[in-house]
């Protein structure tokens, strides 16, 4: 075995990814500082009723509200499938906890806090501290500039061997470009700033997008709104469709234009008068603090070049990203990525040469292009998250994904698609839940051995 080196590592963000990264880095023997601009751990899962003053988030100087959660949100994955491998997300029987299989958002925050407590991660975190700049100094070390809230005139510059970026990617809204929208007299809002349905009372609402949150939010709004029209690329037929089970939701083709008289025109000629456009059109990757002198860029929502969505080849392993892929079960993937990064930094696991990594990245981009996948879907991991995780597991010499988890993920995806109103309360994979709990029981009895 080569000597194991301990590094000074800065982790940016104390959401789920940052917590998991900190845990694995310290377990490997590194010295870790976690920078977090909020005053608690949990990232996205810290619900707030605050919203941004610019409801579609186009003003680059707007004050940022990090979380995009709405009040009624329940998870769209069952807790067992979301679960960290090292710390099972089991229902707790105490009064204020939510034991449901698809719990409300508060329960996920509690779980992440429990995880942080279990592994004593809180002591590594500097709260209320925002990283404003990360750049590489002449000696090859990374300089991290941070500002403690309330003391904005005093920033601190510190040097680290490595930086792990864990800042999430559901904060900076992407909006649909609608011809005429600037002269349309109605209101526009992005789902980032959606919290509760009340402001939509008696309104005619056009929702753009067909993501998981568009599905949930449209149903919730329909309970108070006059009409809800869901516009998406995937509704291509010319017939207008009402949604089964609802009297005031319709599926429409994409919006063609917004007009000065307050009307909205859809493709194929349909037109309505509407009050509000709600953009459920997703988010942009954004790393305003990161200065890599152009080595890492965000181009049409591709963060690149990155080897296996983690390392920029020419800066590896000293700069890395945890948590970029989407359409996945995020928490367990954070564990695989973090263990890999920690092991590479210590010299226990090796990476290919920068040239070889770059060739791999280019081959990946070429394969996306050849199959007609737009650049902005580079980190859409539909269909291969487990293959990816298991590839990393092999690099680390650690156990691969549990069979029950793979099956459960598929069952949940199918449930969301086929039974969007009921999948959270009715399911048919109790056999998989049983297998999960058998694994969890083993896990819990080993807990405490290795940290």
Ligand X SMILES: *[C@@H]1O[C@H](CO)[C@@H](O)[C@H](O)[C@H]1NC(C)=O
Ligand Y SMILES: Cc1cc2nc3c(=O)[nH]c(=O)nc-3n(C[C@H](O)[C@H](O)[C@H](O)COP(=O)(O)OP(=O)(O)OC[C@H]3O[C@@H](n4cnc5c(N)ncnc54)[C@H](O)[C@@H]3O)c2cc1C
Phi, psi of 108 (to 5 degrees): -70, -40
- State the DSSP string of 74-103: B-SS-HHHH--SSS------STTS---SS-
Task: Compare residues 166 and 176 and give the one whose CB is closer to ligand Y.
Answer: 166
The residues in 28-57 that bind ligand Y, with binding defined as CB under 6 A, are: 35-38, 43-45
Task: Compare residues 62 and 375 and give the one whose CB is closer to ligand X.
Answer: 375
Give the C-alpha separation, 434 to 205, whole Å: 43
Task: Compare residues 71 and 363 and give the one whose CB is closer to ligand X.
Answer: 71
Task: Compare residues 26 and 302 and give the one whose CB is closer to ligand X.
Answer: 302
DSSP-based three-state secondary structure for 127: coil
Residue 341 engages ligand Y in binding (rule: CB under 6 A) = no
Smallest distance, ligand X to C-beta of residue 269, A: 26
The residues in 42-81 that bind ligand X, with binding defined as CB under 6 A, are: 49
Residue 377 binding target from ligand X, ligand Y, none, CB below 5 to 8 Å by type: ligand X
Give the C-alpha separation, 311 to 305, whole Å: 8
Residue 234 engages ligand X in binding (rule: CB under 6 A) = no
Residue 410 engages ligand X in binding (rule: CB under 6 A) = no
> Given the DSSP bridges, would you call strands 249-252 and 255-258 parallel, antiparallel or unpaired?
unpaired
Task: Provide the token pair at 230.
Answer: 């869901």
In eight-state DSSP terms, residue 3 is P
Contact 142, 163 (CB under 8 A): yes
Residue 117 engages ligand X in binding (rule: CB under 6 A) = no
Residue 383 engages ligand X in binding (rule: CB under 6 A) = yes
In eight-state DSSP terms, residue 319 is E
Smallest distance, ligand X to C-beta of residue 377, A: 5
Task: Compare residues 283 and 340 and give the one whose CB is closer to ligand X.
Answer: 283
Helical residues (DSSP H) of 155-281, grouped into ranges: 212-222
Smallest distance, ligand Y to C-beta of residue 196, A: 14
CA nearest to 338, candidates 392, 275, 376: 392
The contacts of residue 213 (CB under 8 Å, 6+ apart) are 70, 191, 280
Task: Compare residues 47 and 115 and give the one whose CB is closer to ligand X.
Answer: 47
Contact 31, 2 (CB under 8 A): no
For the window 1-40, what string marks contact with ligand X as x by the rule CB under 6 A?
A: ----------------------------------------
Q: Which residues bind ligand X (CB under 6 A)?
A: 49, 327, 377, 380, 382-383
Q: Which residues bind ligand Y (CB under 6 A)?
A: 12-18, 35-38, 43-45, 66, 68-69, 73, 75-77, 82, 130-131, 166-168, 170, 213, 289, 323, 329-331
């Amino acid at each position: 075995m080569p000597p194991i080196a301990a590094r000074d590592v800065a982790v940016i963000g104390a959401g789920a990814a940052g917590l998991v990264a900190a845990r694995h880095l310290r377990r490997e023997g590194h010295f870790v500082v976690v920078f977090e601009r909020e005053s608690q751990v949990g990232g996205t899962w810290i619900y707030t009723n605050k919203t941004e003053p610019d409801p579609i988030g186009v003003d680059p100087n707007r004050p940022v509200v990090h979380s995009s959660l709405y009040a009624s949100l329940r998870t769209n994955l069952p807790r067992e499938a979301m679960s960290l491998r090292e710390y099972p997300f089991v229902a707790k029987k105490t009064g204020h906890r939510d034991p449901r299989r698809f719990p409300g958002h508060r329960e996920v925050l509690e779980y992440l806090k429990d995880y942080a407590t279990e592994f004593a991660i809180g002591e590594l975190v500097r709260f209320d501290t925002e990283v404003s700049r990360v750049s590489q100094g002449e000696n090859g070390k990374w300089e991290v500039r941070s500002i403690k809230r309330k003391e904005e005139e005093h920033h601190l510059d510190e040097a680290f061997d490595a930086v792990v970026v864990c800042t999430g990617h559901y904060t900076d809204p992407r909006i649909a470009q609608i011809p005429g929208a600037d002269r349309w007299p109605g209101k526009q809002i992005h789902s980032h700033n959606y919290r509760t349905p009340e402001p939509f009372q008696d309104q005619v609402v056009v929702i753009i997008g067909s993501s998981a949150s568009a599905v949930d939010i449209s149903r919730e709004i329909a309970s108070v709104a006059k009409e809800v029209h869901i516009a998406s690329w995937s509704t291509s037929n010319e017939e207008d469709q009402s949604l089964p089970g609802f009297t005031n939701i319709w599926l429409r083709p994409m919006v063609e234009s917004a007009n000065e008289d307050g009307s909205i025109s859809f493709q194929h000629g349909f037109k309505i008068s509407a009050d509000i456009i709600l953009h459920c059109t997703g988010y942009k990757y954004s790393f305003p603090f990161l200065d890599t002198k152009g080595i890492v860029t965000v181009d049409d929502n591709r963060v690149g070049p990155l080897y296996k969505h983690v390392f920029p080849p020419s800066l590896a392993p000293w700069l890395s990203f945890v948590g970029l892929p989407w359409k996945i079960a995020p928490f367990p993937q954070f564990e695989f990525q973090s263990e890999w990064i920690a092991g590479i930094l210590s010299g226990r696991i090796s990476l290919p040469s920068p040239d070889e990594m770059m060739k791999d990245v280019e081959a990946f981009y070429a394969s996306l292009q050849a199959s007609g996948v737009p650049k902005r879907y580079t980190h859409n991991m539909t269909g291969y998250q487990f293959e990816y995780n298991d590839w990393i597991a092999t690099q680390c010499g650690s156990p691969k994904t549990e069979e029950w988890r793979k099956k459960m993920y598929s069952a949940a995806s199918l449930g969301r698609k086929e039974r969007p109103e009921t999948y959270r309360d009715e399911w048919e994979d109790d056999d998989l839940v049983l297998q999960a709990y058998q694994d969890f029981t083993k896990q819990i009895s080993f807990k405490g051995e290795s940290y």
